Structure 1
């Protein structure tokens, strides 16, 4: 029998998770990171292929990599690019509108004007220190795999984020770290056939700083789902 309290708590974890960009300098124990990955590995994948690989960074190893990426970003950002395209070059209006709204809410909450290129660049650079989180994850996938395996990888990443959230930790997935795959390869045993998909900040939230973040509204169910073959839902009582 379904436990309503458990359902409510589980739904609350999913609804309460967001891409946090504000962390405190508090170490996350190795055993906690391992437990998160232990839970996340049960994500579904086609024919149980499990097409993910994770490099977990902390301490001096993370500091060296962050310093190297930041130096590359400062000196030669234009020379670095991801090995895959994240956004379509011509986003349909629906998605372009949501993307623009994200920028307005996110940068507006930080007091960064739309035309403040320097302010936006400074905020972007914080990605390369994992926003101060004590753990950084680098996630790769074999380039010989097809789109279906990327779907599997997405479910694994969601598992990582939810497993972190129930342990009192926050996360932020970061595609922009994929741009510096050549720098990452200098430090990590990334196979030539692997593509760097993203990074992920993992750590303890700076709640005071995070309180400034804008709220990103999500589309209602009616905006993306249609129902077929169900009984009509009961009419809502309007109180009239």
Structure 2
């Protein structure tokens, strides 16, 4: 868990079929509400991966966003959540040596998301919507964490990408996915390029005191 990080530059070498199957089998063991197992995962590789990337880039250039679920930095508010998001962006672009004023380089990095950061594979996580969808989305999150940890355990890497979910109609049409299946996000995966600047840093985490409230559980926050 502590060695996993979001890989933003991959080597082109594909994973073996047995490794991909192993990751998918590990992900399948995620818990879910009432054991509904509500995930449907589409994996693209090879020519399908390349063709979908082209469609995503075209949609991006034509500003054809199509969200199934909203995303807006303004929704984070003015407190810790927004500050962490701002720190994430600053840390990333400092590591990439891209100044705030270089809009072209920032746009190129954004487009790299739609090229799957050169990963040989990408998985798209679709979900039905029961009620308000929150419990289903939580199940998909646990599935995705299993997926990512299995990659790490096997010596590979991945990155969950909200941006891939911003072109849900494009992805659905390309993959032949029915409208009732909603795209939460995608995961690009493969072998990390450990020499790349984009993989030269890891994001920090907030101290426990900012996210944990203990009730009759003494001594936990005294430990270092």
Larger Rg: 1
Count of residues in correspondence between the two structures:
222
Paired residue for 2:124? 138
For residues 74 and 26 of structure 2, what CA distance do their matches in structure 1 show?
A: 36
1:89-120 alpha-carbon deviations (Å, 9 max, x no partner)? 33231111111111111011101112322211
Task: Report deviation, 1:200.
Answer: 0.7
Task: Report deviation, 1:185.
Answer: 2.2
Does residue 197 (structure 1) correspond to residue 184 (structure 2)? The answer is yes
1:91-106 matched pairs, under 5 angstroms: 91-92=76-77, 93-106=79-92
Does residue 82 (structure 1) correspond to residue 67 (structure 2)? The answer is yes
For residues 195 and 45 of structure 2, what CA distance do their matches in structure 1 show?
A: 24
Q: 1:186 to 1:88 in 2, by over 3 A?
A: same
For residues 204 and 155 of structure 1, what CA distance do their matches in structure 2 show?
A: 22
Does residue 21 (structure 1) correspond to residue 8 (structure 2)? The answer is yes
Structure 1 contact 106–213 (Cα < 8 Å) conserved = no
For residues 28 and 63 of structure 1, what CA distance do their matches in structure 2 show?
A: 16
Structure 1 contact 139–199 (Cα < 8 Å) conserved = yes
CA RMSD of aligned residues (A): 2.0
Does residue 168 (structure 1) correspond to residue 168 (structure 2)? The answer is no
For residues 124 and 221 of structure 2, what CA distance do their matches in structure 1 show?
A: 48
For residues 163 and 177 of structure 1, what CA distance do their matches in structure 2 show?
A: 21
1:204-223 alpha-carbon deviations (Å, 9 max, x no partner)? 01011157533311111122
TM-score (norm 1): 0.86
Secondary structure at the aligned position of 2:75 is classed as coil
Secondary structure at the aligned position of 2:201 is classed as coil
Q: 1:135 to 1:234 in 2, by over 3 A?
A: closer
Secondary structure at the aligned position of 1:89 is classed as helix
1:22-53 alpha-carbon deviations (Å, 9 max, x no partner)? 10110111221111111111111110011111
Q: 1:235 to 1:134 in 2, by over 3 A?
A: closer
For residue 113 of structure 1, the aligned residue among 89, 96, 99 is 99
Structure 2 unaligned segments of length 5 or more: list them: none
